[in-house]
């Protein structure tokens, strides 16, 4: 299971949290109280930080969300034999299926499930060698819907376009 797909409880067991003081606008509270949060996923070393809120708890929630998103973008789940199935036989997660409406995926990029869904798609895209058609088939959507989903997080679409460029393929928009 991809780290971004784990429950909050299981995910936080793999994360170390460090509170620090931040600099910049925000007045005395921000400069004298350790409200900035740095979250580190210990198995991968990937980090995320949140400093914009005055509350340590609010910054922790934001840092954990950003960490899940970074993990979705940067970490691929090791492949297992069960992963090698035809796209039509693949069963997307319940989270994905619940958001599927008439061949379109509906998800807000700030929703807590977004990093999990993105990780699932990027893992399958990696497995399929960046083949959009096979990946779209696996998730029961069209190629254009897959591209629109990836475009929600510009870094995901950019990384795919860089890999396509290296293969001499056209970029997606």
Q: Are 60 and 39 in contact (CB under 8 A)?
A: yes
How many Å apart are CA 168 and CA 152, to the nearest integer? Answer: 24
Which is more confidently placed, 16 or 78?
16
pLDDT at 128 over 70: yes
Average pLDDT taken over every residue of the chain: 88
DSSP E strand stretches across 4-45: 15-20, 36-41
Taking 90 as the threshold, does the pLDDT of residue 123 lie above it?
yes
**CATH 3.30.160.20 in the chain, residue ranges:** 3-67
3-67: in CATH 3.40.50.300: no
H helix or E strand, kind and range, residue 100: strand 100-101
pLDDT, tens digit, for every residue of 58-102? 999 999 999 999 999 999 988 777 777 888 889 999 999 999 998
Task: Give, for 59, the enclosing helix (H) or strand (E).
Answer: helix 56-74
The pLDDT tens digits of the residues spanning 46-70 come to 999 998 887 889 999 999 999 999 9
């Amino acid at each position: 299971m991809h780290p971004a797909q784990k429950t909050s409880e299981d995910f936080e067991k793999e994360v170390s949290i460090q509170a620090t003081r931040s600099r910049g606008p925000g007045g005395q509270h921000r400069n004298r109280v350790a409200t900035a949060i740095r979250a580190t996923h210990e198995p991968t070393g990937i980090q995320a930080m949140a400093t914009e809120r005055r509350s340590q708890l609010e910054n922790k929630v934001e840092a954990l969300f950003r960490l899940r998103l970074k993990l979705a973008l940067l970490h691929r789940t090791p492949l297992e034999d069960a992963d090698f199935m035809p796209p039509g036989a693949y069963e997307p997660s319940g989270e994905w299926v619940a958001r599927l409406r008439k061949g379109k995926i509906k998800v807000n990029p700030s929703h807590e499930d977004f990093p999990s869904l993105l990780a699932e798609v990027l893992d399958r895209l990696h497995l399929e060698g960046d083949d959009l058609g096979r990946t779209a088939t696996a998730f029961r959507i069209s190629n254009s819907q897959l591209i629109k989903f990836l475009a929600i997080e510009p870094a995901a679409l950019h990384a795919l376009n860089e890999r396509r460029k290296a293969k001499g393929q056209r970029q997606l928009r």
